[in-house]
Amino acid sequence: MNPHLHYDFRDILIAPARALSAKRIFVMTLFLCVGLVVYDACTYLAVALDGEKVGTFWNIYGLAPVTLFYFDHLAAQIVYAVGVALGVLALMLGFFGVASIEIEQVRGNRFFSIPGAIAFTLRRFTQLLISEVSIIAFMAVILVLFLLLGLVTRIPFIGEYIYALTFLLPAFVIAIFTVFIFAVFQISIVLLPATAAAERNGEAFTAILETFSTIVRQPVRWLLYTAYGLLTAKVCSFVYAYFCYRSVQFIGWAVSLSGGANADTMIRGGLSHLPLRSDLVREMLNVFPGVDFSFSISHLVQPMTGNPAGHVMALMLFMIFASVVGYALSVVATAQARGYVVIRYLKDEYRIADERPLFLEEETPVEEHTPPTDQHDPEDSTDN
């Protein structure tokens, strides 16, 4: 049990500090990179299927083509859609991993390890997938019903009256309900991993039910917690990015004292392989969109060299930058997990903190051994 919960906004304030832990950043960064690799592979395959030049596309977008693309050929559209879906699902797995660490800590388990969190996340992959597919399938069923209504309208004379009479009831009511479901479906990308991490049995229906219940019964409080998480994630990740930038500079300077200028040259050469002028990099190095307060690392770049070690250095620098994005997303996931703990108590009076941890191995109680006392057999005793 966590004795420090207040079950109000004070429990959310600590989210950026709780997210600043090596295991949470590692888990989030790992699944972020997996999602990026899958998304990149599908995107560049879609570019090739669409007949475009992959090399030109690479020169423009590089490692992180984080934008929506439109392709002419159906095969390219399908491959790209699959890449987007798998990338989002990998991102949700990262949210789940961070949320599971936080939920276990709320329950009293402070020793939930990185391998344990990754294994638990992979075991719950089916739960997240079924939950999202179920919501999509439900919306697809409603769409089919409207398609059938469209066929009815083709009936001469009678079809138009049927369409007009059913426009308000039930068509309009169902449409509002469907739009709400679609909104929750988008919200579920960040909220459903938290509800699933707090669900002990891995049931998809319970995770979906808690996701909808949170939005329906506590929408204002959830919006407030989410806004705080997004705001602090951006500001705190900027501070973290600045410390990473200065740390890389310190490594280059310190190593160059004994290793010569080659140490700093390798860092600059590694940076030349990365898309530093992309929109994502620019936004991560700026404190907040619309606020002109940032730092730049493009001045450190030097022309590419043929040194193979430069590619290894580029990979290392990329992982450092990925950890910046991973920390920002870790703040969001931690705020969602703690926010759900608070909201679950306020709407159901249920304390997740009172639950037993899922992965804390109970220590075997040590039996107390008392020294034997001198006991006399009554038959051997003699009367004085």
pLDDT digits (tens, 9 = 90+) for 7-19: 999 999 999 999 9
Percentage of the chain with pLDDT > 90?
A: 72
One DSSP character per residue, 225-237 reads HHHHHHHHHHHHH
The token pair that represents 237 in the structure block:
């990740």
Is the predicted pLDDT of residue 372 greater than 70, yes or no?
no
Torsion of CA 243, 246, 252, 258, to 10 degrees: -100
What's the chain's length in residues? 384
The token pair that represents 35 in the structure block:
């999602």
Let me know: does 325 contact 237? Beta carbons within 8 Å. Answer: yes
DSSP label at residue 286: E
Domain hosting residue 348, numbered range: 10-354
CA–CA dist 13, 364 (Å, integer): 36
Let me know: does 317 contact 72? Beta carbons within 8 Å. Answer: no
Span 119-128, mean pLDDT?
A: 97
Strand pairing report for 291-294 and 286-288: antiparallel
CA–CA dist 364, 350 (Å, integer): 29
Confidence of residue 3 (pLDDT cuts 50, 70, 90): low
Query: pLDDT tens digits for 83-118?
Result: 999 999 999 999 999 999 999 999 999 999 999 999
The confidence score (pLDDT) of residue 56 equals 86
Is the predicted pLDDT of residue 159 greater than 70, yes or no?
yes
CA–CA dist 362, 149 (Å, integer): 59
Q: Quick check: is 372 in a domain?
A: no
Q: Quick check: is 38 in a domain?
A: yes
Average pLDDT, the chain: 89
The confidence score (pLDDT) of residue 120 equals 97
The confidence score (pLDDT) of residue 373 equals 47
Q: Quick check: is 327 in a domain?
A: yes
Number of domains in the chain: 1
Q: Which of 147, 146, 154 is nearest to 171 (CA)?
A: 146
Query: pLDDT tens digits for 320-343?
Result: 999 999 999 999 999 999 999 999
The confidence score (pLDDT) of residue 153 equals 93
Highest mean pLDDT among 207-211, 249-253, 375-379: 207-211
Q: Quick check: is 183 in a domain?
A: yes
Span 38-48, mean pLDDT?
A: 94
Query: pLDDT tens digits for 170-227?
Result: 999 999 999 999 999 999 999 999 999 999 999 999 999 999 999 999 999 999 999 9
